[in-house]
Amino acid sequence: MLTDLFIQSLRACGGEASSVGAAELPRALAALVGAGGLVVVTPELESLALELAERGVECRVASRLGAGDAGLEADLRAAEVALTRGLVGIARSGTVAVGPGGGNGGLLAALAPRHVVLLGEEDIVDSLAHAMQVISERFHGLGGEAVFITGPSRTADIEMLSVVGVHGPLGLHVVVVRREAG
């Protein structure tokens, strides 16, 4: 089962992972990110942001604009959690890819101390080659960034000691969303 392998692989490289049914998502997310400070959500998850806000989560939809946008900078400085959608997951390595496409999803996800990614169960594939194919199709004629993310930001530059959280997020959590029958 790809989802199980994905979750296992991600945990092995220091990330967190869970799996929830689509109907349960807003409640589960509110529990996960609530009271953790400002949650900045990419525009494509706007409706989810509304549901989170209804549940009392301090939530803001990120600006669509790029560098130099005043709203963006404010978001970037204040965000404690970045909530973005994953494009494709790789079971074997516990990798999730975000982007491409406009917006500041990638940037937000790089700056906030915690990054939470929603990944459709059906978007998990077995190998890097397969994931690259998915990305390749998305890239077709489109500019922008895609980032393969495998666990939290880390370094071993000081005496090869593994330290988590250098410039990117200290925590990565992938929520695998199960599509329920019916």
Partner 1 sequence: MQRLGSRDMGAEIERALSNPNLQRALDNAMATLYGRRGAVLGSIDFEALRRRARELKERALARNDELLAQVVERVTELGGTVAVTANAAEARDYIAALARDRGVRRVVKAKSMVSEEIHLNSALEERGIEVVETDLGERIIQLAGERPSHLIVPAVHKTKDDIIDLLARTMGLADPPTQAEDLTRLIRVDLRERFLTADMGITGANFVVAETGTLVLVENEGNIRLSSQLPPVHVALTGREKIVETLADIATFLELLPRSGTGQLLTSYVSLITGVPSTEVTDFGRATGETVHEREFHLVIVDNGRSTAAADPQLREALYCIRCGACLNACAPYTRVGGHVYGSDPYPGASGAPGPTSPRVTPKPARSTVCVPPAPGAPRSAPS
Q: Is 131 helix (H, G, I), strand (E, B) or coil?
A: helix
Q: Interface with partner 1 includes 147 (CB under 8 A)?
A: yes
Site string for partner 1, 117-136 (x = CB under 8 A): ----------xxx--xx-xx
Task: From 17-25, 49-57, 85-93, 174-182, give the range in contact with partner 1 by CB under 8 A.
Answer: 85-93
Pairing status of strand 154-155 against strand 163-164: antiparallel
Token pair in block for residue 31: 């529990």
Closest to 98 measured CA to CA, from 62, 71, 74, 58: 62
Contact pick of 42, 100, 173, 174 for partner 1 (by CB under 8 A):
100
Residues 146, 135, 169: CA angle, nearest 5 degrees: 30
Contact pick of 44, 54, 55, 66 for partner 1 (by CB under 8 A):
66
Tell me how many residues contact partner 1 (CB under 8 A).
56
For partner 1, the closer of residues 57 and 111 by Cβ is 111
How far CA 151 is from CA of 11, 25, 137, 148, in Å, comes to 8, 22, 24, 10
User: Under the rule (CB under 8 A), what is the footprint of partner 1?
Assistant: 9, 13, 64-68, 73, 76-77, 90, 92-93, 95, 100-103, 106-107, 110-111, 127-129, 132-133, 135-136, 139, 142-161, 163, 165-169
